[in-house]
Structure 1
Amino acid sequence: MSYLQFRLADYRFRPGLAGTILMLICIPLFIKFGFWQYHKAEQKQMLQEMYDQALLAEPLALPLVFEDMQRWRYRQVKVLGTYRPQYQILLDNQVAQERAGYHVITPLQIGASGKYVLVNRGWVPANADRSVLPVIETPAGDQEIVGQLWLPSDKFYSLEQKQVAEADAPWQTVWQNMDMARFQQSAPIEVLPLVIRLDAGSAAGGYLREWPRPAERITTHIGYALQWFGFAAAALLIWIFTSFRRQENK
């Protein structure tokens, strides 16, 4: 202890102007990024809790108008309607059972209304020759749909070009992303801006349905937050260490 006191006596705390300015910029910025990641983790945790609670709730009748879409995220719903496969799409790059394939997404006309909702009927394997699409069988007549609501993200990058479906020809194509805006512009039907993931126990024309619990990356965000807070602490320690200067003896 006396040695440290002796050594410290030879130094004086004299922070430089440039280092101080850099510290005053970096530390608040690192702390801001840390809290940003921490708040994202909190938001993801809330979504996980919503998901878990929704699985325990009884299915609700699907409304035709949504005042707050977020309140319906992950909700269990039921609806009666008829499949319209002429505007069906195959969502590419879906993996199940260690195989590549597609999710079959088919519009469902809701009762006698003119509105539609997209139903994710599950996973089908892709052929070795990707130019040959799988044959999709769709049941006719009224179908009772029970499933969980999914709000597709609009945050993705795609090189696909929007295309308008022809009214006089079947329309089945492969999409890289579930782009709701593109679908609403391409298909000449009024579609609700959400997708129903068909329940695994439903007999309404479903394929393989192993819906995963949403990977919300809560621990990842917490790790990033701790990393940014660590950067702030390291910047402070570096500034303190470099601000001590040896005092010359006269």
Structure 2
Amino acid sequence: MNKLFNALVSKRIVATVSALAVIAIGCGAGYWQLSRATTKITLAANLQARQQMPILNANDRAWTLSEAAERRMIARGRYIPEAAIWLDNRPRPMPVGGVGNPAQAGFYLMMPMRLDGGDEVLWVNRGWAPRNPENRETLPPIDTPTGVVNIEGIVFAHPGKVYELGSEKTSSATNAPRIEQNFDLNAQAKIYGWTQPPFILRLEEAGIKDGLLREWAPLTTGVDRHYAYAFQWFALAAAGFLFWLISGLRQYGREGVVKEDSGER
């Protein structure tokens, strides 16, 4: 046993350390992918449970984020289209079994709504629209109701964030279409001086022909991909171990044959 240990480990320090590094990286990354899948499943279950709770009304009173987060909410008011913000680099929402190109880039249209019967302004993610592939500044045509409307959606803390280089400054221009990478509720409150809820409402209405897509992907989207990545990482760890073990055993066998030949001589 000591001879085998020496042949596999003591005489192959560099190979052993390299194998341990590959195994550690593979197992660590694999478990991380599994944890990502578990987190998505848990979030989806919590979201589903909260959506089964009674529907909130944004016009009733000022709701906190902890009270309203991930719950269904209705609201009544008028849109303020001149203050709309187009969030760039947003992939097309793809529901399970949906048809389309999930790699297609576009915008989320964030538009404030002044709630009926008060001065509070609720920011609404009205949906997704495709980006002009030839000119990023050319915004897609959409229809916005001019009167009082009733809407329904789900409450989120923000519309999702994308990676941006450096620290982007939120534009304060209100007389031109605003294209931003990310959305900051606090920054908008400072620009306009509005009283705002600490959340946004993502519309869930389908079938309305206003030029926007609202077929939102479930939170469990990508779970299968995480499992596939985890399998690949664990396979890498197993391959590293087997390569180290097999190469060591082959070397141990060759050394044994050489010693036997030397003894015969």
Common fold by TM > 0.5: yes
Shift of 1:41: 0.5
Shift of 1:105: 2.2
State the match for 1:86 in structure 2.
82
Q: Does the residue aligned with 2:225 lie in a helix, a strand or coil?
A: helix
The farther-off stretch of 131-140 and 24-33 is 131-140
Change (3 A) 1:114 1:79: same
Shift of 1:24: 3.4
Shift of 1:207: 4.4
Structure 1 letter corresponding to 2:66: D
Alpha-carbon RMSD: 3.7
State the match for 1:3 in structure 2.
none
State the match for 2:26 in structure 1.
30
Partner of residue 152 from structure 1, selected from 151, 156, 159? 159
Shift of 1:158: 5.0
Partner of residue 208 from structure 1, selected from 206, 212, 221? 212
Shift of 1:115: 3.5
Answering whether residue 107 of structure 2 is matched by residue 109 of structure 1, we say no
CA–CA distance in structure 2, aligned partners of residues 55 and 91 of structure 1: 26
Answering whether residue 56 of structure 2 is matched by residue 60 of structure 1, we say yes
CA–CA distance in structure 1, aligned partners of residues 106 and 24 of structure 2: 46
User: In percent, how many aligned pairs have the same letter?
Assistant: 25
Change (3 A) 1:235 1:194: same
State the match for 1:5 in structure 2.
none
Partner of residue 173 from structure 1, selected from 178, 181, 187? 178
State the match for 2:38 in structure 1.
42
TM-score, normalised by the number of residues in structure 1: 0.71
For the 8 Å contact 1:80–1:143, the answer to whether it is kept is yes
Answering whether residue 135 of structure 2 is matched by residue 139 of structure 1, we say no
CA–CA distance in structure 1, aligned partners of residues 54 and 210 of structure 2: 21
State the match for 1:217 in structure 2.
222
Q: Gaps (5+ residues) in structure 2?
A: 94-99
CA–CA distance in structure 1, aligned partners of residues 166 and 240 of structure 2: 41
Residue-by-residue CA offset, 1:163-195 (whole Å, 9 max, x unaligned): 4435xx535322344455654555543444543
CA–CA distance in structure 1, aligned partners of residues 21 and 188 of structure 2: 45
For the 8 Å contact 1:152–1:194, the answer to whether it is kept is no
State the match for 2:238 in structure 1.
233
The farther-off stretch of 223-232 and 26-35 is 26-35
The farther-off stretch of 84-93 and 175-184 is 175-184
Change (3 A) 1:134 1:21: closer
Residue-by-residue CA offset, 1:14-59 (whole Å, 9 max, x unaligned): 1222223333343233212211110100111223334555666553
CA–CA distance in structure 2, aligned partners of residues 129 and 232 of structure 1: 46
CA–CA distance in structure 1, aligned partners of residues 162 and 87 of structure 2: 16
Structure 2 letter corresponding to 1:152: P
Change (3 A) 1:161 1:72: closer
The farther-off stretch of 18-27 and 153-162 is 153-162
Structure 2 letter corresponding to 1:76: R
Structure 1 letter corresponding to 2:155: L
The farther-off stretch of 144-153 and 36-45 is 144-153
Change (3 A) 1:220 1:243: same
Name the one with the larger helix percent. Answer: 2
State the match for 1:195 in structure 2.
200
Q: Gaps (5+ residues) in structure 1?
A: 1-10
For the 8 Å contact 1:145–1:202, the answer to whether it is kept is no
For the 8 Å contact 2:162–2:181, the answer to whether it is kept is no
CA–CA distance in structure 2, aligned partners of residues 136 and 208 of structure 1: 7
Name the one with the larger strand percent. Answer: 1
TM-score, normalised by the number of residues in structure 2: 0.68
